[in-house]
């Protein structure tokens, strides 16, 4: 059985576990190594179960614990060539850690296949990932993108579970305390996906095969989980979809996401 757990999600740190009987992987390591180890322990998992860490991009909320956790536990890391360059320049991983480029070809490990796709964010080589298990289940993590490109839509087609960014409410952001340049960055096509932007994609995901939808990377300053969920439900209701019949919806909490079994 496939297992999926958003251990941490949001501007304070991001880390997602995906696994099956053959072991598991992490997507990002954006909190301390101690916090990651503790979150895995709550799932009754040891760090030795992690066979690789796939990095979406080099921003600190995605790589804070990467150097220590990967180095201490001898775990290889994968990322796009541009992301690995940035990680190396920022000394974000130990020189003894195996660092491998993932491009268009799937990486096979832990009885799973991991495929990278490009996302639009304000750093070169930003990525999302689709993970397919031996029993044919497909799960995706797709955050930190200013808009949903055709490449992203194609990558997410056929996924059973999708964690999609629902970062901010546009009105909250525009009227909030952030300085104007930061607001402009978040709202740009290389920023973050809003509640409305996320909600507009969900019906298509269901039509393409998704039954579990997880809203992720919800901003603490410019959003509320309840607001993100309400926006998603409104769009899906307007599209004629029924919750708990056509889809299961949840918001990934900042920490302590529960294990989902497919």
DSSP string, 107-140: EEETTEEEEEEE---SSTT-EEEEEEETTS-EEE
pLDDT of residue 34: 98
Question: E strands within the chain?
Answer: 3-8, 15-20, 23-27, 50-54, 77-79, 99-101, 107-109, 112-118, 127-133, 138-142, 161-165, 212-216, 248-251, 260-261
Mean pLDDT computed over 83-88? 98
C-alpha 9: how far from its chain's center? 8
Residue 179 is predicted with a pLDDT of: 97
The answer to whether the CB of 84 falls within 8 A of the CB of 101 is: yes
Q: What is the mean pLDDT of residues 66-71?
A: 98
pLDDT at residue number 256: 85
The answer to whether the CB of 198 falls within 8 A of the CB of 164 is yes
**What's residue 4's pLDDT?**
96
Structure tokens of 136? 């044919």
What does the pLDDT read at residue 1? 82
Spatial distance between the Cα atoms of 7 and 174, rounded to a whole number of angstroms: 29
Determine the 3-state secondary structure of 72 from DSSP. Answer: helix
| Residue 260 confidence class, pLDDT cut points 50, 70, 90 | confident
């Amino acid at each position: 059985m496939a297992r999926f757990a958003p251990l941490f999600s949001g501007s304070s740190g991001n880390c997602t576990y995906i696994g099956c009987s053959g072991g598991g992987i992490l997507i990002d390591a954006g909190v301390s190594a101690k916090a990651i180890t503790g979150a895995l322990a709550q799932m009754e998992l040891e760090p030795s179960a992690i066979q690789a860490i796939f990095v979406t991009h080099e921003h600190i909320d995605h790589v804070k614990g990467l150097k220590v956790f990967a180095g201490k536990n001898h775990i290889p890391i994968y990322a796009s060539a541009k992301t690995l360059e940035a990680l190396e320049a920022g000394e974000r991983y130990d020189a003894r850690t195996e660092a491998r480029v993932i491009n268009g070809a799937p990486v096979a490990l832990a009885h799973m296949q991991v495929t990278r796709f490009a996302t639009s964010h304000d750093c070169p080589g930003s990525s999302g990932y689709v993970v397919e298990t031996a029993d044919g289940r497909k799960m995706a993590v797709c955050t930190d993108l200013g808009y949903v490109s055709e490449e992203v839509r194609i990558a997410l087609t056929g996924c059973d579970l999708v964690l999609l960014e629902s970062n901010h409410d546009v009105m909250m952001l525009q009227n909030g305390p952030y300085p104007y340049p930061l607001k402009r960055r978040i709202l740009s096509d290389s920023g973050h996906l809003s509640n409305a932007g996320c909600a507009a994609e969900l019906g298509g995901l269901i039509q393409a095969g998704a039954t579990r939808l997880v809203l992720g990377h919800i901003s603490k300053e410019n959003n509320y989980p309840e607001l993100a969920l309400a926006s998603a439900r409104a769009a899906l209701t307007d599209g004629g979809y029924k919750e708990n019949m056509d889809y299961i919806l949840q918001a990934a909490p900042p920490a302590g996401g529960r294990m989902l079994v497919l």
